[in-house]
Amino acid sequence: MSDSMCKVKEFMVKFGYVPGHLEDIPKGEVTEGMLRAMGKSLQIFAKEMEPWLRHCDVRLLRGHLMMEELGELLEAMADLDELGVLDGLADLEYVTKGTAIQFDLPLDAAFDEVHRANMTKERVLESDTRLRRKGMNWNPPDLIRVLDHHRQCQADESRQDKFA
C-alpha cells in the first residue's frame, strides 16, 4: 500500500470508517439512482464542454477530464462494479496528478500537509462516523508554506543548472 493510501486509511480508521468491499454495501434504489444520475450528468456536461476545448485553455481540458472520469466512477459505484470502480479511481487519480504536473503544483507535499491537518480533527459523536469537527486542536493545512517551499526548491535547482 502506498504512503498516501496508508495515510488515508489512518484517517478513516480514526473516524470509524471500516474498510470493506462493494458487495458488502446493501443495494438501494435511491442510492444507485442518485449515483447513476450524478454520473450521467457529469458525463453529459463533459460532452457539452467539448466545443469549448477548441479554445486550447488547459483549465477546460483538465476540468473536462476530471468530470468525465468522475462520471464513469459514479456509474461503476452505482452498479457495484468493483473492477469499474478501481478503473475509475485509477483514471481519476491519473488525471488529478496530470493536472498537478500541468500546473506545476506539489501534489504529494500538499497531500501530506492536508493529511497532517486532517489528523488534528476530532469526532463529534462516537456513534456517528460522518460527523467530524475541527475542534480546539485543529491545525489547518499550511499550503502556502508547501507551495513556497516548492517554488524555492525550483529556484535553487534553476540556479544549480546555470552553474553546471
Same domain, 93 and 82: yes
Instruction: Give the pTM.
Output: 0.80
The count of structural domains within the chain is 2
What is the structure's pLDDT at 55? Answer: 74
Average pLDDT of span 104-129: 86
Same domain, 58 and 123: no
**Of 84, 103, 122, which closes a domain?**
103
Same domain, 135 and 122: yes
Same domain, 78 and 122: no
Same domain, 113 and 88: no
The DSSP-derived string for the chain is --HHHHHHHHHHHHTTPPP--GGGSPP-HHHHHHHHHHHHHHHHHHHHHGGGGGG--HHHHHHHHHHHHHHHHHHHHHTT-HHHHHHHHHHHHHHHHHHHHHTT--HHHHHHHHHHHHTT-EEEETTEEEEEE--TT-----HHHHHHHHHHHHHHHHHHHHH-
- Whole-number Å distance between alpha carbons of 96 and 113: 17
Lowest-confidence segment of 64-68, 93-97, 110-114, 120-124 by average pLDDT: 120-124
Same domain, 86 and 129: no
User: In terms of residue numbers, what domain contains 53?
Assistant: 1-103
Q: Above pLDDT 70, what percent of the chain? A: 92
**Of 81, 103, 125, which closes a domain?**
103
Average pLDDT of span 109-128: 85
Same domain, 113 and 125: yes
Same domain, 111 and 73: no
Model confidence at 86: pLDDT above 90: yes
Per-residue pLDDT band for 127 (boundaries 50, 70, 90) equals low
